[in-house]
Amino acid sequence: MQHFANDGLLAKKLPGFSPRPQQQVMAKAVAETLDQQQQLLVEAGTGTGKTFAYLVPALESGKKVIISTGSKALQDQLYNKDLPRMVKALGGGHHVALLKGRANYLCIERLNGFAHTGSGQDRHTLSILTKIKAWEQSSSSGDISELGPMAEQADIANLITSTNDNCLGRDCPSYKDCYLVKARNRAMEAELVVVNHHLFFADMAVKETGFGELLPNVDAYIFDEAHQLPDIAATYFGEHFSSRQVQDLCRDVNLAYQTELRDMAQLARAALKLEKQLKDCRLNFEGMRDKGEWRPLAKQPRFVEAMARLRDDMEFVYQVLKLALGRSELADSCFERLASQRALLAKVMDVDQTGFSYWYETTRLHFSLHLTPLNIAERFATEAEAREAAWVFTSATLAVNGVFDHFQTQLGIKEAKTVLLDSPFDYQTQGLLCVPRYLPDTKAQRAEYLMLSQLQPLIELNQGRCFFLCTSHSMTQRVATALRELSSLNVLVQGEGAKLELLQRFTAEENSVLVATATFWEGVDVPGDALSLVIIDKLPFASPDDPLMKAKSEDCRMRGGDAFSQVYLPHAAITLKQGVGRLIRDQQDRGVVIICDNRLVNRNYGATFVASLPPMPRTRDLKKVEQFIREKNGDS
């Protein structure tokens, strides 16, 4: 496209814009796909400028387009930063909108209910609710991300937002002022709508039930960070029972008692008893992994008994609510929600159904029980075929060993054009990949100390500025503890602060090392000198106990495939590519990746990993790493 040329519109309108051949190729492919209503897969290496490469064709196409991103943070960046620049450069006049899921918008009715009645809230929570009411007077969007950390305190978000279950819809007294309704109306009218993958699949699930849509019908869908789609799709194509949702229901039952049903004290007592039973059920998971198979546990006597008591307590609240039908809109809504939750509990307890994976997940206070289909490809392909639209899927990590088969198989994509674009960065001079000799197996006793005995001097020489990425939470804690014991560097650890806060501290504070696991392997951008060393403890193969991976493996075997080569290996290769991709983020960056896993060089499948990584020079000699760091630092 001419806009991307040396003398094109973007070079004239955007300060600092530099034409890149890869960006031009991608923009042309996207434009053709939108025009011909086809499907396109694009792997665009870091630095390609893929955001502009799909934004310009989307805005210029004259079609109604949905752009879906991998997270709410990326969604905000695209809508508030990249999109305004591009709209301005193209001359304005484009009608764009941002739309998130309902849990991101303030519910005026719930805020008023909890703030006015107190409904059992402590003084600190009531103080926060008062501040939120003051903020609401000046907010035009009602997007609770504007509240920052305040919305995350004291479980506040559940008090000030609605769910599909507790929303009163057109019967709500605040319906005309509803922020969610306004956001959806703006999306329906816009030419281009920015959403996230979770909302896209929530919309797909709602449409499948035959009810109203969350998103407008459009001419084209563009998915950024598309490698995340298969796992997100699997969660939305399944069903789950959540203790948090039932707890929220109990709170609403109590709110109905406090405001409209004061003569029904039994209602409050029944809800309180149900809440206590939820906590007792959560205790049965103590000492177990935070995620695992539910099918065998569901048949153990202690879980059978606990879930039977939970079912009985839900039934009791249901019967009491039935006595109040017609007296309170909120109580009527709770009655319908409880009926739905009872049905869900029955489904996840019926673990003998075939074609599904049954798994549980726990957080510090809650548990959820999931029912996930083994294969989503046919479901997604059918949906895509039913929508007469263009489909563009892009990411820096879609291909494995140069081919897209793994991604296409997962989503059932058969006829699509594929484009593989290398990064414009000069990895031969900007980076170095090292797989050190003589490092211990990470399962060895005190492996972290043996590892750091060789790596700590290099981390010190690099003055921190290091991501130490681990494949498990336990190794994250062990490495962090050892580093703090052995080094005077500033050690930051995932879990000891919010993600954004840790990144800001890492960038601002000198001599920092960030020790982290899954959350920081992707979607993290630290360009410049602040990050010039990435250490990865081992190849990121998924745990054999991971329920979603087990489901994919089981489906693969049922189809006559090899689960290791077709499921675990491609997944690990894409994850490793994401982790390595944290290092070189612009043309001035220089740095080293150290992967502490000999399997990369002494197993046949190591070649698959290497072929998927950027073409950096490779070494096994830590002295060459030391030399690279000294040259980068300007030392003699």
- The whole-number pLDDT of residue 406 equals 93
> DSSP letter string over 287-336?
TS-SEEESTTGGGSHHHHHHHHHHHHHHHHHHHHHHHTTTT-HHHHHHHH
Q: Does residue 201 contact residue 384 with C-beta atoms inside 8 Å?
A: no
Q: Does residue 156 contact residue 132 with C-beta atoms inside 8 Å?
A: yes
Contacts of 21 (CB under 8 A, 6+ apart): 424
Amino acid at position 105, single letter? Y
For 100, what's the count of Cα atoms within 13 Å in the CB-facing half-sphere?
Answer: 21
Domain 2-101+181-236+375-421 has CATH 3.40.50.300: yes
pTM of the model: 0.83
Backbone angles phi, psi at 594, to 5 degrees: -115, 120
Q: Does residue 42 contact residue 55 with C-beta atoms inside 8 Å?
A: no
CA–CA separation, 410 vs 407, rounded Å? Answer: 5
What are the 10-residue block averages of pLDDT along the chain, 636 residues in total? 84 86 96 96 93 95 95 88 92 91 89 70 79 88 82 69 82 90 93 95 72 79 96 87 94 91 94 96 92 91 96 96 92 93 95 86 93 87 90 95 93 94 94 92 84 94 96 93 94 88 91 93 86 96 83 82 93 94 90 95 94 94 95 76
Amino acid at position 302, single letter? R
CA-based nearest residue to 303, from 321, 269, 280, 323: 280
* Domain 427-633 in the same topology as domain 2-101+181-236+375-421: yes
- The whole-number pLDDT of residue 118 equals 59
- The whole-number pLDDT of residue 595 equals 97
CA–CA separation, 418 vs 399, rounded Å? Answer: 10
- Looking at residue 528, the DSSP 8-state letter turns out to be S
- The whole-number pLDDT of residue 71 equals 84
- The strand pairing partners of 357, in sequence order, are 372
Q: Is 449 helix (H, G, I), strand (E, B) or coil?
A: helix
Taking only Cα atoms into account, the Rg of the chain, rounded to an integer number of angstroms, comes to 26
- The whole-number pLDDT of residue 636 equals 45
CA end-to-end distance (rounded Å), the chain: 46
Other CB atoms closer than 10 Å to residue 623's CB: what's the count?
Answer: 8
- Give the domain ranges of the chain: 2-101+181-236+375-421, 237-373, 427-633
- The whole-number pLDDT of residue 370 equals 93
Q: Does residue 460 contact residue 489 with C-beta atoms inside 8 Å?
A: yes
For 393, what's the count of Cα atoms within 13 Å in the CB-facing half-sphere?
Answer: 23
Q: Does residue 456 contact residue 479 with C-beta atoms inside 8 Å?
A: no
CA-to-CA separations, 240 to 9, 232, 237, 244, 370, in angstroms, rounded: 49, 14, 10, 11, 4
CA–CA separation, 468 vs 535, rounded Å? Answer: 5
Backbone angles phi, psi at 350, to 5 degrees: -90, 80
CA–CA separation, 180 vs 172, rounded Å? Answer: 13
Give the homologous superfamily in CATH for domain 427-633: P-loop containing nucleotide triphosphate hydrolases (3.40.50.300)
Sign of CA dihedral 556, 558, 564, 566: negative
Domain 237-373 has CATH 1.20.1440: yes
